[in-house]
Structure 1
Amino acid sequence: MIGRHRTEFAGLPVHEFDPEATPPADPSAVAWRIAFEHDGDWDEDLPSPAFAQRFEQFLDTVDPASVTALVLGSWGYAAFNTPPYAQLCAAADRLTGLRALFLGDMMSEECEISWIRQEDVAPVLEAYPALEVLRVRGSEPHKAPVRLRPVRHGLLRELAFESGGLSAELVRAVGECDLPALTHLELWLGTDNYGGNATVEDLAPILAGTRLPALTYLGLRDAEIADQVAAALAGAPVVARLHTLDLSLGMFGDRGAAALLAGQPLTHLRRLDLNHHFVTDDLAARLVAELPGVDVDLTEGIDADDEDEYYVAVAE
């Protein structure tokens, strides 16, 4: 999941940019990955000059207008160096074909997910109005959390924030965005220890679904509050439009399972993802039995004597 670099993104194989190598004949046939790992020399609170140079080399080597998918890996030491979003936005008039963007394809060996410095990604969305996929990894909760100023974006189909903890401000901002084409929304809510202080009240605009009319996949993943989220989903209007409900990676247990079973019908779903859960055998069997035809993923069930032993899959 986050233990290795992406090998595929937006339906394309990931190709690492090497300024010394001959690029593929068709630059649009791959998702280009640009990264420059730190070598022990970095300037805190500043972009990495080495990464900036690598990015400019990429623009000068590959026909940027033919690039459709871009993956940014390490931008120096991401716990200290700030993300290169200003440089990315400045290149928008050259990357005119860009449709998919992943910001922060890093493994824990390069930078822990809750150490990755982020900032407001709204300028990136505004610079690329034709973007269809945006995935962001990481959020440093104390100095540089991921942020989003509410925006309108007419073509974005997929939005994902991977984190050990998303702030209430970020979650509320997503709910305030106007994203009429969005079909896939994925929020890794995380834990309060790493900045994940969003509540079900902060999720209310998303669960109402009025500003996300095309949504069919909702992932509220890696959530310390997974059981409370499940209780809110039991009556949430957005659920009736979904084909996939993803509550994986979090602290989903018997209370959440009971809430889903007692709530609105879920038999219209194609998939209910509860991977990494704390549901006891009896309730797990009921979920499968009472949702015939639904692919209920109950893999990685974890035995725990009480809720004090629950944990999310991704935190630091």
Structure 2
Amino acid sequence: MIFDIQPTNSEDYSETYAGLPVAAPPFDEEEPQPDPGAVAWRLSACEGDEFEEISESFDWFFDNVDTEKVKALVIGEWEDCYDTDSAAIIARLAGNADRLPELRSVFLGAMTWEQSEISWIQQSDVTALLEAYPRLERLEVRGGSGLAFPPVRHESLRVLRVETGGLPAEVVRGVGGSDLPALEHLELWFGVEDYGGDSTVNDCDGILSGQRLPSLRYLGLQNSPFADELAAAVAAAPVVARLEALSLSMGSIGNDGAEALLSGQPLTHLRRLDLHHNYLSDAMAERLPAALPGVEVRLDDRRSREDDWRYVAVSE
């Protein structure tokens, strides 16, 4: 199946997440508290709000909610998120795993650009969540500064999304070196070197081989300044044969990358090819969908090709 996940970095998940309506405590005394398992709980903190520290938000949550029924958590803004990393939040969640036996979905860092630019969000080693929650099915992270993802094995994870304006190469290699037998949707936003994005196409070898990702159906290698090189690697990658959807969107792909895709292994088995935010010529934009009948080809948000400078959709 294809998970229909097409968010932007301006989405704060204040209304819905993981198919559930979002509930953001605290509630008015006269407002009935929702069924703990029927909503995604959004925990955040900001100066001037009811909770000025994220620990206070967690305190309220664990004191007032039957957490044994909770299925989804959205962690939004925390105090000084541009100076303070997510390690304490992850430790709090990991240390209370026994109180959240039904937790299946977590978004860590659901902030809009008004709250914090994506590359200012300080993250940490997020694999502790996977180790603490062996039944977790969905993990999404926004922000690449300080982000770590050493290789892990996790039997249940189905969706892994990492949104950054600069993705460390070690994270890409860590994901590629992880055994994730249930993973169906993998999405990485690479970003640029100025914000920590030191990845290269070679760092994607473990992912493109597909050896540790037998269930993968959606692959998004997105927001990349080396999208043409990625396209050339994807054109010969073993993992592509099992995909239903492929995205090289939000990046710098141009005619060379599109030509590589058309000249490589067949892509007609795909249901969707997403190349939005691209640098394709008019002729190539016509040629691609004609060469892939039956495939939904997304080519909107085409950029000017008047000069050699190309930019990704999300950086700072």
TM-score > 0.5, shorter chain as reference: yes
What are the residue-to-residue correspondences of 1:66-85 with 2, within 5 Å?
A: 66-83=69-86, 84-85=89-90
Q: In structure 1, what is the Cα distance between the partners aligned to 2:35 and 2:254?
A: 48
C-alpha contact 1:37 1:110 (8 A) present in aligned 2: no
C-alpha contact 2:45 2:77 (8 A) present in aligned 1: yes
Counterpart residue number, 1:3: 10
Counterpart residue number, 1:43: none
Q: What letter is aligned with 2:54? A: F
Q: What letter is aligned with 2:18? A: A
The answer to whether 1:314 aligns with 2:289 is no
C-alpha contact 2:127 2:150 (8 A) present in aligned 1: yes
Mark the runs of 5 or more structure 2 residues left unpaired by the alignment: 1-7
Q: What letter is aligned with 2:222? A: R
Shift of 1:139: 1.7
C-alpha contact 1:19 1:58 (8 A) present in aligned 2: no
C-alpha contact 1:180 1:214 (8 A) present in aligned 2: yes
Q: In structure 1, what is the Cα distance between the partners aligned to 2:267 and 2:23?
A: 40
C-alpha contact 1:180 1:211 (8 A) present in aligned 2: yes
Deviation beyond 6 Å, 4+ runs, structure 1 = none
The answer to whether 1:148 aligns with 2:149 is yes
**TM-score if structure 2 supplies the norm length?**
0.93
Q: In structure 1, what is the Cα distance between the partners aligned to 2:95 and 2:32?
A: 23
Counterpart residue number, 1:34: 43
Counterpart residue number, 1:54: 57
Shift of 1:242: 0.3
Shift of 1:14: 1.7
Q: In structure 1, what is the Cα distance between the partners aligned to 2:198 and 2:35?
A: 44
- Counterpart of 1:250 in 2: which secondary structure? coil
Identity fraction in percent: 51
What are the residue-to-residue correspondences of 1:144-183 with 2, within 5 Å?
A: 145-183=146-184
Shift of 1:299: 0.9
The answer to whether 1:123 aligns with 2:128 is yes
Measured against aligned partners, the alpha-carbon deviations of 1:14-37 in whole angstroms (never above 9, x if no partner) come to: 221225454544211111111112
The answer to whether 1:16 aligns with 2:24 is yes
**TM-score if structure 1 supplies the norm length?**
0.93
Change beyond 3 A, Cα 1:39–1:297: same
Q: In structure 1, what is the Cα distance between the partners aligned to 2:258 and 2:267?
A: 12
Mark the runs of 5 or more structure 1 residues left unpaired by the alignment: 41-47
Q: In structure 2, what is the Cα distance between the partners aligned to 1:86 and 1:159?
A: 20
Measured against aligned partners, the alpha-carbon deviations of 1:116-161 in whole angstroms (never above 9, x if no partner) come to: 0000011111011110000000022xxxx21012111000000011
- Counterpart of 1:93 in 2: which secondary structure? helix
Aligned residues: 304
Q: In structure 1, what is the Cα distance between the partners aligned to 2:307 and 2:239?
A: 31
Counterpart residue number, 2:303: 302
